[in-house]
Structure 1
């Protein structure tokens, strides 16, 4: 199968997951870039940031039109994560490939377990505590910077459980946070990242954007809980494969 077809297929699947689940789909971008498209771990996390930025910014526009973005909360949350995201972008370029792959696999497993746990939706939105928003935002920024993932699987639970947003508002606001953190991490990697193959990344990102729209339609037809369980199982399998690959 040609590289272009693999890039389009992988991008479409990841976009589908993002659109259907509202977060977590980008976790598959790094292993797809490494094992299907031959990227090194550092190049894969950098390319993943490009894909995450494009898809998140596109989806943000749609959620903003529906009034489901809490701009003040999201900007506060993201502001705390800009520094850690930039620092993480520098650190990622200095980590051995095995360490970066192992760390990513562990985060992917964490994402899967969080998806398997039922989440309680907030009925009413509580006042945002700046201290909590800053702490949660800094942690998410660090994960985004080092591992090249959007972190929606961490941002959405934090915005719901810690900051008290309703689920739909949390999903929309998380896209704002993810877009800003990803741009910050990319800015720090610009001078140190390995040369990227844009002939692969561009169709990958384009297919992800289109797949996200199909994912929204899929979410309207299939139970969200069922989609999350299937995706979580796939994610656990990917995490296990990556850890085994590092050990062996």
Structure 2
């Protein structure tokens, strides 16, 4: 199967994940670019930020028109994470690749376990204060910068469990956080001069954007708990794969 076909297929799946679940895009994008398209880890990380930024912004627009974005919470959450993400990204450059991969797998598994916890029926959303949103965003930004991903797979659990948002509001708001964090990380990498294969990145991004549009419609048809279970199981699968790869 050609690299172009693989890029189109992977992009469509990742777009569905971002549009329906509000995260998981960068978790899936980096492995897809490395194992399917033959990118180096450095090139895959940078290319992933390009793809996820464009796809998240597209999915964000769709969720915003449906009223699923909590702009104040998302802006505080995303802005607070930018400085820690930059600092942690500098630290990550000095850590062995296998250690980063293992840390990524552990964080993904923990996030999945949080999402699998039974939710209390009839629970009202907790009022979100600026300090709480900023603190959670800074912590997410640090982890995001260290692992070199958009952070959506952590943003959704944080927004639901830490900040008390409903699942659909968390999905839409997480896309704002992903867009902000990914764009900031991408700008910080502009001076690295990593060679990028645009003949793969462009169709990958296009397929992801189209998939994100369909993912938004999928999200409207599924209940919040169902989305949580799908998201959590996907995270566990990614975590297991990456941990196995790290310890080989």
Task: Report TM bin, short chain.
Answer: 0.7 to 0.9
Return the alpha-carbon distance in structure 2 between the equivalents of residues 80 and 106 of structure 1.
23
Which residue matches 1:204?
204
With 187-196 and 111-120 compared, the bigger mean Cα shift is at 111-120
Q: Using a 3 Å threshold, how does the CA distance of structure 1 residues 94 and 139 change in structure 2: closer, same or farther? A: same
1:9-33 CA distance string (max 9 Å, x none): 1111111122222323432112112
Which residue matches 1:188?
188
Return the alpha-carbon distance in structure 2 between the equivalents of residues 25 and 188 of structure 1.
20
Q: CA deviation at 1:146?
A: 2.7
Q: Using a 3 Å threshold, how does the CA distance of structure 1 residues 247 and 2 change in structure 2: closer, same or farther? A: same
Which residue matches 2:112?
112
TM-score computed with the length of structure 1 as normaliser? 0.86
Return the alpha-carbon distance in structure 2 between the equivalents of residues 115 and 28 of structure 1.
18
Q: Using a 3 Å threshold, how does the CA distance of structure 1 residues 97 and 4 change in structure 2: closer, same or farther? A: same
Matching of residue 3 in structure 1 with residue 35 in structure 2: no
Gap regions ≥5 residues in structure 2: none
Which residue matches 1:133?
133
With 210-219 and 179-188 compared, the bigger mean Cα shift is at 210-219
Residue 112 of structure 2 contacts residue 235 of structure 2 at CA under 8 Å; is this kept in 1?
yes
Gap regions ≥5 residues in structure 1: none
Alpha carbon RMSD of aligned pairs, Å?
2.5
Which residue matches 2:147?
147
Q: Using a 3 Å threshold, how does the CA distance of structure 1 residues 205 and 148 change in structure 2: closer, same or farther? A: farther
TM-score computed with the length of structure 2 as normaliser? 0.86
Return the alpha-carbon distance in structure 2 between the equivalents of residues 63 and 127 of structure 1.
21
